[in-house]
């Protein structure tokens, strides 16, 4: 019974928690405790998915499919596969840590903060689980609102300006995306992802190749802004700089990358290959540009923003190489960015609570004062730099090794990003924690190291960095069956039952005829 409705329950528990928080009085820490309990319950529900997942199939699982609105034809259709499974778990994992990170950092208007924070969780979970494109679009748009409001309300100095920039950057391409969705509906009479996938693959819609290319571009443009892909990253630095730690942990990467995999490669495989040379070039530029700009940053939050741009560009490179290993690496690297990038933002938030600044020159000589803090920073930095035995190495190795086979020149340039990431991360550690103690550090000699609440928030990251670096096959065994079909020839698609898609190679002669 739980399996039949687990996705709906998991998705809407945070929203119910948000409603409960809206009704609670502003007394003591009752709102924080309620948010923590709701987020822990949500995380526990997400763990039900890998525990009961069938790792031997690539079909959508835990499917819920009901008629919702008859005209237009909109279905309440939910399901997950190996691409979305771990992203749902990651979203659940980050939520309670975000609450712990905000425990003392959010001291005013906490009711509003946790209300929108939990609403954001529902929006993200809905994006990862929706298989009706209209339902997906509703969650996609919903995810913009809590983020923009929280940036405006809780930004450091320029919150409203950063919120407006974020909203405009992401909302305007979404309008183009909506036009493309409505165009597909006008041609097909359905928003259902599986049905559309079948109709597009078998040519039942009668759409010209030119129209398909423009439709695919509208999808890709909206998703690329949300990743963000270079040069559509103009919102990233300001948003990272202003957003509260809990929201900065979820703002970039996951929604856009998942959507490219699910919809661009899933619905428009031939058009995705048409865009691939441009996307690979932009990915490599993003890796090098993001790393170089991060190396020049003095603000720790903005350094993290451009480091994130470089890390996410590795994911784009892996996706558009269309190999199984590259797609495995792209999904894995998406998880790594959420994990290691989230840990870095969490630690920076702890540092800011103690010293009130993100300016790197203000620090120096902290290692003697905060030994636990420096240990966590070093481990996180090495993970982001791709040190073997830590999680970052697995994703980068899969992406680079697969891209060398078909795009040797671009892959060689992308490899410099590994060196540059080590340079800016280790420079950050050196400047903040070693050398002569700064005046700021000397003037606050009574500041204590990591406390019990902060240990509770940080240790899960540290453990998972090591576990995902040494036991990666456990995660890959769910991811690989789902991405194997995306890596296959786009003209070799055969479809089975409603909730399952099978990919088999067509005979050479038939393949050539269909390709023409």
Q: Which of residues 471 and 490 earns the better pLDDT score?
A: 471
Q: Which of residues 496 and 262 earns the better pLDDT score?
A: 262
- Beta strand 74-80 with 501-503 is unpaired
Cis peptide before 231 (omega within 30 of 0): yes
In the prediction, which pLDDT does 182 show? 93
Q: How many residues can be counted in the chain?
A: 516
pLDDT for residue 466 is more than 60: yes
In the prediction, which pLDDT does 512 show? 36
pLDDT for residue 497 is more than 50: no
Tell me the pLDDT tens digit for each residue of 151-204.
988 888 888 888 888 888 888 888 899 999 999 999 988 999 999 988 888 888
What does 19-32 look like in DSSP terms, one character per residue? HHHHHS---TTHHH
Backbone angles phi, psi at 298, to 5 degrees: -110, -20
Q: What percent of the chain has pLDDT over 70?
A: 94
pLDDT band at 20 (very low <50, low <70, confident <90, very high): very high
Q: Give SS3 for 57.
A: coil
Residues 6+ apart with CB under 8 A from 225: 169, 170, 173, 232, 256
In the prediction, which pLDDT does 140 show? 92
pLDDT band at 509 (very low <50, low <70, confident <90, very high): very low
In the prediction, which pLDDT does 365 show? 85
In the prediction, which pLDDT does 488 show? 66
pLDDT for residue 503 is more than 70: no
Q: Give the DSSP letter of residue 362.
A: G
What does 409-474 look like in DSSP terms, one character per residue? HHHHHHHHHHHHHHHHHHHHHHHHHSSSPPHHHHHTTT-----HHHHHHHHHHHHHHHHHHH-HHH
Write out the H or E segment, with its range, that includes residue 368: none
pLDDT for residue 499 is more than 70: no
Q: What percent of the chain has pLDDT over 90?
A: 50
- In degrees, rounded to 5, the angle at the alpha carbon of residue 378 between the alpha carbons of residues 374 and 379 is 120
**In a 10 Å sphere around its CB, with 0-12 CB exposed, 13-18 middle and 19+ buried, how is residue 409 labelled?**
exposed
In the prediction, which pLDDT does 423 show? 92
- pLDDT, mean of residues 79-84: 92
In the prediction, which pLDDT does 501 show? 36
- pLDDT, mean of residues 207-221: 91
Say how far apart CA 193 and CA 183 lie, in whole Å: 14
Residue 280's region, left for phi above 0, alpha for psi from -120 to 50, else beta, is alpha
Residues 6+ apart with CB under 8 A from 393: 386, 387, 469
- pLDDT, mean of residues 30-52: 93
pLDDT for residue 495 is more than 70: no
Q: What is the mean pLDDT of the chain?
A: 87
pLDDT for residue 61 is more than 60: yes
Residues 6+ apart with CB under 8 A from 327: 261, 318, 319, 321, 479, 483, 486, 487
pLDDT for residue 375 is more than 90: yes
In the prediction, which pLDDT does 67 show? 87
In the prediction, which pLDDT does 407 show? 86
In the prediction, which pLDDT does 500 show? 37
């Amino acid at each position: 019974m739980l399996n039949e409705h687990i996705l709906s329950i998991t998705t809407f528990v945070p929203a119910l928690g948000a409603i409960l928080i809206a009704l609670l009085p502003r007394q003591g820490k009752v709102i924080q405790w309620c948010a923590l309990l709701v987020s822990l319950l949500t995380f526990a529900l997400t763990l039900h998915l890998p525990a009961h997942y069938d790792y031997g199939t690539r079909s959508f699982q835990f499917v819920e499919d009901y008629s919702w609105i008859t005209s237009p034809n909109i279905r309440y259709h939910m399901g997950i596969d190996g691409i979305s499974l771990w992203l749902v778990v990651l979203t659940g994992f980050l939520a309670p840590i975000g609450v712990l990170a905000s425990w003392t950092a959010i001291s005013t208007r906490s009711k509003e903060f946790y209300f929108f924070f939990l609403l954001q969780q529902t929006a993200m979970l809905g994006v990862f689980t929706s298989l009706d494109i209209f339902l997906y679009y509703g969650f996609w748009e919903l995810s913009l609102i809590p983020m923009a409001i929280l940036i405006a309300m809780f930004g450091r100095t320029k919150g409203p300006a950063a919120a407006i920039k974020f909203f405009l950057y992401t909302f305007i391409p979404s309008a183009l995306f909506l036009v493309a969705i409505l165009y597909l509906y006008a041609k097909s009479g359905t928003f259902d992802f599986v049905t559309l996938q079948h109709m597009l693959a078998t040519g039942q819609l009668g759409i010209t190749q030119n129209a398909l290319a423009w439709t695919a571009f509208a999808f890709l443009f909206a998703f690329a802004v949300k990743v963000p892909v270079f040069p559509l990253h103009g919102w990233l630095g300001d948003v990272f700089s202003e957003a509260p730690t809990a929201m900065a942990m979820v703002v970039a990467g996951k929604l856009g990358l998942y959507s490219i995999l699910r919809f661009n490669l899933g619905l428009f495989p031939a058009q995705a290959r048409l865009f691939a040379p441009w996307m690979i070039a932009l990915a490599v530029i993003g890796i090098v540009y993001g790393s170089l700009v991060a190396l020049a940053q003095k603000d720790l939050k903005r350094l993290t923003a451009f480091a994130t741009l470089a890390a996410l560009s590795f994911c784009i490179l892996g996706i558009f190489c269309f190999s199984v290993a590259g797609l495995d690496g792209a999904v894995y690297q998406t998880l790594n960015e959420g994990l290691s990038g989230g840990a870095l933002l969490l630690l920076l938030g702890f540092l800011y609570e103690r010293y009130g600044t993100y300016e790197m020159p203000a620090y120096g000589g902290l290692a003697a004062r905060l030994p636990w803090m420096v240990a966590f920073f070093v481990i996180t930095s090495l993970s982001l730099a791709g040190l073997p035995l830590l999680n970052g190495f697995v994703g980068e190795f899969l992406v680079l090794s697969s891209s060398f086979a078909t795009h040797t020149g671009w892959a060689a340039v992308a490899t410099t990003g590994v060196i540059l990431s080590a340079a800016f991360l280790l420079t950050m550690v050196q400047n903040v924690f070693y050398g002569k103690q700064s005046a700021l550090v000397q003037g606050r000699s009574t500041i204590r190291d990591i406390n019990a609440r902060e240990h509770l928030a940080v240790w899960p990251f540290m453990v998972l960095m090591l576990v995902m670096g040494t036991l990666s096959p456990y995660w890959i065994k769910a991811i690989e069956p789902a991405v194997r079909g995306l890596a296959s020839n786009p003209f070799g698609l055969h479809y089975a039952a409603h909730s399952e898609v099978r990919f088999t190679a067509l005979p050479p002669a038939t393949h050539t005829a269909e390709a023409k």
